[in-house]
Structure 1
Amino acid sequence: MGQAVLSDKELIRAYLSGDEKSFEILLNRNKDRVFGYIMSKVRNENLANDIFQEVFIKVIRTFKNGTYNEEGKFLPWVLTISHNLIVDHFRKAKKMQMVSESSSKSEDFNIFSVLKLMDNNVEDDLIKEQIELDVVRLVEYLPEEQRGVLKDRIFKGMSFKDIAEQEDISINTALGRMRYALINLRKLVDKHNVSITA
């Protein structure tokens, strides 16, 4: 039987046994589908190439460290890796947009108004939901006074007048706390972003 007609599973086994050529065949057989999938989501050839390379670096690492699970088929597994790396990319890009947006808006900026991508795709809801979870987690690191105003304003939708009355402070103080909360939150998002992409 010639190598050209070996299944993906057989090619993977051959590669794991030291046959480098088998991986080349595996890659050539699947690259158009994988690249096409990435391209359909990111719509940018340079970015698609970068993500494509990342995908196959991850595939090789998984093979090398012995954690590849033979239960599933190769292509769906690689497409799942592609999907996750695309989501990671958009999460990072959207977080950075969110941070820069918040610095150019008034104190009343809603930190969860995440910018939409040029073309909506299936990742949008997942990314937005994940960013919200990340930011909610970071809110807990804010000083108590700032955290209180931010939660009242964003989570409860309270007006600054109502927050001021509830806390027995002036409206200016409430605005000031919100402004500092957003400044500190931007710093935390930036810091958090560095740690999740390391």
Structure 2
Amino acid sequence: MNKYSDLTDQELIRLYISGNNPAFTTLVHRHKRRLFTTIVLLVRDRALAEDIFQEVFIKIVNALHSGRYTDNSRFLAWAVRIAHNSCISHFRKANGWSKTVVEYHDEIGDSMEMMEHSAEHHMITAEINHKIGDMLDRLPKLQREALILRYYADLSYKEMAQIVGISINTALGRVRYALMNLRKQVGTETLV
């Protein structure tokens, strides 16, 4: 068990700034899955997401060391904002979208999960994830982005509005319409 695992994000950040690198490692491991999945869903390309993920953590390290992080008790929301802005920068340069990848698993997690579940379970899960990805691909870009930030990045509507630069009501509306569109799609298709 990691001796830092019971510490809050803010405590880990303070330790890291004071020179304790294992504290930052704990912070990265705590949030890597959610942050990486958010990036993958935004850029819709796993290899590109890996590059952006590394870029995001370089920006986080630089911001922490330069004192640009304010202790607002929402490290993940701040990190997602950096990730979102990095994705937007990429799109401004590349101006394109590829296929959505719904989930990310690291190699250790995949190995453990393989031992716990049957092959049939994995096939069903993969098929469901593929269909969900297809449904997300059919949503308008702004609605898809709203769902990703709300449910994959687990941001509040206020945080989502701040990151994207919209009002809270617009954020609520985008998520609402995205869910309505997904329900329509589910009504015309079966997941399994």
Normalising by structure 1, report the TM-score: 0.48
Normalising by structure 2, report the TM-score: 0.49
Please say which structure displays the higher CA radius of gyration: 1
Higher-RCO chain (CA-CA 8 Å, sequence separation at least 6): 2
